[in-house]
Chains A and B, each alone.
Chain A
């Protein structure tokens, strides 16, 4: 079986671009804190989602709705309303991390597929079984912390479908538990749906260098001509003591696991997820069409070395202009 491509749809135009480029499924969210990409100008109204689902379904594709932040205490109604709306509009699945939301969906919309978000940080067979037995999840999206061997072992014992990331920005391997953005700005992806919010970001040229700040913190400085990055706290270059500035947490690299398409398919992965709802429709179309080509080529038994031009197209879209294989091959062990 050829794994499906699950593509980001940050906006209605990106959803259309993803479908047209060959995505099997698009995931998107509402214009509020219920989803983990709550950035200015992004996301869908109910009317946008209705049109998007109609566009996808008319072409035999699917739309999954991410409601993957944690509901705030005393205000679960906003999150429940998002689930009800997604169900009423005919979404193919909802992607969630919060057990309250999983429970609500299982009780009120038992026929709506429930996918466990990477934000749940479920990293053991025991945790997978828990979410399956208590909330009836159909699929889990793997946290970006496993090697290829570990994924194959997990899949052999998992009672559910497994989706994994194939391309896009990386976060520290503590998904759903990272508080760096909350520390720097008071807002976090887990509760507010936004990491390193744009309203706290400032870029200034100081002594010829591009200095980028997030709130009160200097996150990085780039020399003229050096590839820059967004000031996500975990990807800052810091001076620890008297050491040289270094990327202490994460380097600003982009996951590209194209070379593992075959290994992941053989391990039983059912879907490849592309990160990037905050990116534009050009990015979505480029990445989806590239992976459509690579995944179909791999399924035909072709070597990816025959697709150097396509791999180069992907590299040009990488954050910071650099790629990594992430945890799939843990060279540091």
Chain B
């Protein structure tokens, strides 16, 4: 019953399960090999990416998804992206560090969510050289690169391993999550209506003024 095909296809966003499963279960050397193949193919598939990444030459960035036992080390020799795996506890000095749930990085990389909004909401933590982090985001986003799609679409003998894990994950997710998705959508709609009500109420209430500094108050002859 569990492995029965779902009657309707899941939306493309569910591929994060495929990637999560592949990244969490495949042996680390296999993932490192897949990443090497993927990054080698990028300049051919996105010829303008190197121009945008060239400014990052000499920088090293750490991406540490919370659920994984390893982190990704990104560097940019000659404007080409290289991704290595390492233990986050033994990471070398890096220029910028990004930490958050794997799902978030998945959405971010494939342009499915707004990086600024994720950062403002505190879901994504960025420390270190902000210019390097911003440049990486803008370069990848600006070239329209979807690294996870590249990962799942790898040609050769290793690609089917990742895709197979993904297909299984999609089927499981369809059975487990489809009923929840409908309920979540209804709850989100209710929440949106409530927020709109609260906002209207807030707007009709006068805004408190910030307390003036005592020195300014005294200079203006105001009573504190």
Interface, chain A (partner B; CB < 8 A)? 10-14, 16-17, 39-42, 45, 48, 197-199, 201-205, 210, 222, 224-230, 240-244, 246-248, 278-283, 286, 308-309, 311-312, 315-321, 323, 325, 331-332
Q: Which of B120, B135, B216 counts the most chain A CB atoms within 10 A?
A: B120
Per-residue contact bits, chain B 124-154, to A (CB 8 Å; 1 contact, 0 not) = 0111111111111111011110000000000
Min distance, Cβ B138 to any Cβ of chain A, angstroms: 3
Whether the pair B134, A39 counts as a contact (CB closer than 8 A) is: yes
Report chain A residues within 8 Å CB of B203.
325
Whether the pair B141, A13 counts as a contact (CB closer than 8 A) is: yes
Min distance, Cβ B102 to any Cβ of chain A, angstroms: 18
Whether the pair B119, A10 counts as a contact (CB closer than 8 A) is: no
18 contacting pairs across A/B (C-beta < 8 A): A12-B48, A12-B144, A39-B134, A40-B55, A41-B55, A41-B134, A41-B137, A41-B138, A199-B129, A202-B130, A224-B122, A227-B121, A309-B192, A312-B191, A312-B196, A319-B116, A320-B120, A321-B120
Tell me, in angstroms, the Cα distance from A226 to B122 when the chains sit together.
8
In-complex Cβ contact of A41 among B52, B119, B125 (8 A): B52
Once A39-B138, A246-B210, A312-B196 are accepted as A-B contacts, the answer to whether A286 and B114 lie under 8 Å apart by CB is yes
Report chain B residues within 8 Å CB of A12.
48, 142-144
Whether the pair B120, A240 counts as a contact (CB closer than 8 A) is: no
**CB closest residue in chain B, given A280:** B141
Report chain B residues within 8 Å CB of A229.
120
B36 on the interface (CB 8 Å rule)? Answer: no
The 6 lowest CB-CB distance pairs between A and B, nearest first, are A241-B213, A11-B142, A41-B138, A246-B210, A312-B192, A40-B135
**CB closest residue in chain A, given B112:** A282
Once A199-B130, A229-B120 are accepted as A-B contacts, the answer to whether A41 and B135 lie under 8 Å apart by CB is yes
B195 on the interface (CB 8 Å rule)? Answer: yes
Tell me, in angstroms, the Cα distance from A74 to B51 when the chains sit together.
29
Report chain A residues within 8 Å CB of B141.
11, 13-14, 280-281
Min distance, Cβ B56 to any Cβ of chain A, angstroms: 8
Whether the pair B138, A40 counts as a contact (CB closer than 8 A) is: yes
Question: In terms of DSSP, what is the predominant structure of the interface of chain B?
Answer: helix
Min distance, Cβ B112 to any Cβ of chain A, angstroms: 6
Interface, chain B (partner A; CB < 8 A)? 48, 51-52, 55, 111-117, 119-122, 125-139, 141-144, 188-189, 191-193, 195-196, 199, 203, 206-207, 210-216
Once A197-B131, A241-B216, A317-B114 are accepted as A-B contacts, the answer to whether A14 and B210 lie under 8 Å apart by CB is no
Report chain A residues within 8 Å CB of B117.
283, 316-318
Whether the pair A308, B130 counts as a contact (CB closer than 8 A) is: no
In-complex Cβ contact of A244 among B134, B211, B216 (8 A): B211
Min distance, Cβ B189 to any Cβ of chain A, angstroms: 6
Whether the pair A198, B143 counts as a contact (CB closer than 8 A) is: no
Whether the pair B213, A243 counts as a contact (CB closer than 8 A) is: yes
Report chain B residues within 8 Å CB of A14.
141-142
In-complex Cβ contact of A308 among B133, B134, B135, B192 (8 A): B192
Min distance, Cβ B187 to any Cβ of chain A, angstroms: 12
Once A10-B142, A203-B130, A281-B141 are accepted as A-B contacts, the answer to whether A242 and B116 lie under 8 Å apart by CB is no
Report chain A residues within 8 Å CB of B142.
10-14, 41-42, 281
Tell me, in angstroms, the Cα distance from A240 to B213 when the chains sit together.
5
Min distance, Cβ B44 to any Cβ of chain A, angstroms: 18
Tell me, in angstroms, the Cα distance from A280 to B114 when the chains sit together.
6
Whether the pair A282, B114 counts as a contact (CB closer than 8 A) is: yes
| A40-B138, A41-B142, A198-B130 given; 18 more Cβ-contact pairs under 8 Å | A10-B138, A12-B142, A12-B144, A14-B142, A40-B55, A40-B132, A41-B52, A41-B134, A42-B142, A199-B131, A204-B127, A241-B216, A280-B116, A286-B114, A308-B189, A308-B196, A309-B192, A319-B116
Min distance, Cβ A17 to any Cβ of chain B, angstroms: 8
Report chain A residues within 8 Å CB of B55.
40-41
Tell me, in angstroms, the Cα distance from A241 to B219 when the chains sit together.
12
Whether the pair A311, B216 counts as a contact (CB closer than 8 A) is: no
Min distance, Cβ A303 to any Cβ of chain B, angstroms: 13
Whether the pair A48, B137 counts as a contact (CB closer than 8 A) is: no
Q: Which of B122, B206, B216 counts the most chain A CB atoms within 10 A?
A: B122
**CB closest residue in chain A, given B133:** A198
